[in-house]
Amino acid sequence: MTAIKHVGVVGAGQMGRGITEVCARAGLHVTLCDVTEDRARAGLAGVADSLLKAEKRGALAPEDRAHALAGISVTDDLSRLSGADLVIEAAVEDERAKTALFRQLGEVVTDPAAVLASNTSSIPIARLAAAAGRPESVVGLHFFNPVPVMPLVEVVPSLHTSKATELRVRTFASEILGKDTIVAQDRAGFVVNSLLIPYLLAAVRMVGSGTATAEDIDTGMTAGCAHPMGPLRLADLIGLDTVAAIGEALYEEYREPLYAPPPLLRRMVESGLLGRKSGQGFFSYQTA
């Protein structure tokens, strides 16, 4: 089994930055790619800031921070990923966009030993694998936010993913990145989001129906159920647009009403109230 030394990450948003950081801290060479070089550089700046905070907390030695940063390069050119051993897609949670991207990656990354992975939260891996044209080497590798802190990675093989590919990425996530791994079947939502999203949407429905305020719902779950974070602050952290997109994908797959995004969530997304990323969701994150 060929060692993974060069990782490509496509998408320099919150998840892409986190994946880039944990890979770089593990001593890997990482190429971070986005649609423009400015966006890729903004992603690198976010990684640099996170690494500096880790150093200030005493969680990272100065020399290790410098080594991690030195191992990251940025680009807006997908062809720069042609030599990667593993490419992890962390683009927007939109099936059309991801499918188009995997079609491009299948053309660019021609080494048959290279693995193409998606960080999708809900889109079936088989659809992405078909677009890539090399389904045996495509797999889901679903990280959780914030990636440097959350210990779990879901490994999601499709019906066509080879056992060698599945073993390779699970070994990579557990032994190289130090993550806990679970294997999920290729069903929308996998394990965690199939359980989590109905819970978050139920909390949104409670706000929409006037059952309780967002503050009281979250206090009920933190003080009454010992959850570390209430469902509505968690939804804000994930991004309300992402929660809605995952809900849509789950509803499309299962046609169960509990997966359908409620009207309040749809209106908030349409209004740009996306949670932490926009500064306002169910709670305010505006800075003075």
Catalytic positions are: 121, 142, 154, 193
Query: What is the DSSP pairing of strand 72-75 with strand 86-89?
Result: unpaired
3-class DSSP state of 21: helix
Consult the annotation and say whether 185 binds a ligand.
Answer: no
Q: Residue 121, annotated ligand binder?
A: yes
Instruction: Determine the distance from the C-alpha atom of residue 270 to the mean position of all C-alpha atoms in its chain, rounded to a whole number.
Output: 22
Amino acid making up residue 162: S
DSSP-H helix ranges across the chain: 14-25, 37-56, 62-70, 95-108, 125-132, 163-171, 192-209, 214-225, 231-238, 240-254, 263-270
DSSP per-residue string spanning 213-268: -HHHHHHHHHHHH--SS-HHHHHHHH-HHHHHHHHHHHHHHH--GGGSPPHHHHHH
Could you give the CA distance from residue 157 to residue 136 in angstroms, rounded to a whole number?
9
**Residue 106 annotated as binding?**
no
Annotated binding-site residue? 104: no
Q: Which amino acid is at 103?
A: R
Contact 124, 187 (CB under 8 A): yes
Q: Is 229 annotated as a binding residue?
A: no
111 annotated as belonging to a binding site for a ligand? no
Residues 192-208: b if buried by 16+ CB within 10 A, e if exposed: ebbebbbebbebbbbbe
Residue 120 CA from chain centroid, whole number: 6
Judge whether 145 is annotated as a binding position: yes
286 annotated to a ligand binding site: no
Is 126 among the annotated ligand-binding positions?
Answer: no
Distance between CA atoms of residues 145 and 264, nearest Å? 24
Question: Is 13 part of any known ligand binding site?
Answer: yes
Please enumerate, by residue number, every residue annotated as part of a binding site for NAD(+).
Answer: 11-16, 34, 93, 98, 121, 145, 277
Please enumerate, by residue number, every residue annotated as part of a binding site.
Answer: 11-16, 34, 93, 98, 121, 145, 277
